[in-house]
Amino acid sequence: MRVGSGDHPQARWLGLAGLSGLISVLTVTMWRPHLIGIVVGPCAFLDLTGHPCPTCGTTRAITALAHGRLIDAVAANPLAVTVAVLLGLGGLVSLVTTLRPRWRRRFSLAPGEARWWWAAAALLVAANWLYLEFAQ
């Protein structure tokens, strides 16, 4: 199984954009955490239903991750930490495959593999939602 950007230049640039976005978010949360409260408000789903949404705790998780508190980050929202790590790794793969074009085939999806990745992503979101509902 091969993962990553393959021969699609748009996917490589998307991966690089994800990496730069992750770096930007971590930088802002590390040095200007007061700006987060301006951009991110309270969870409307939680206010309406009394139950957390699958992304509840993401702000706390990314802030903790930016400050090097991995256990606090995972406790706040494990999926947010997983996505941040995957964004970082995907961005690095995109960077490497952009700089070393002959490595692109090592990191490409085989035909038909994308549906398994989507299924795995859906299971991760569901598992994260259950964790947030019952572990908090």
pLDDT, averaged in runs of 10, over the chain (136 residues):
51 70 73 63 81 86 84 92 83 76 66 81 91 85
Domain-embedded: residue 82: yes
Please state the pTM of the whole predicted model: 0.69
Answer yes or no: is 96 within a domain.
yes
In a domain, 17, yes or no: yes
User: Residue 88 and residue 30: Cα distance in Å, rounded?
Assistant: 17
2 belongs to a structural domain: no
Domain limits at 89? 9-135
- The answer to whether 84 and 65 have CB atoms below 8 angstroms apart is yes
Report the C-alpha gap between 45 and 117 in whole angstroms. Answer: 27
Within a 10 A sphere around the Cβ of 57, how many other Cβ atoms? 23
Domain count, the chain: 1
Contact of 77 with 58, CB cutoff 8 Å:
yes
- Whether 87 and 22 have beta carbons less than 8 Å apart is answered as yes
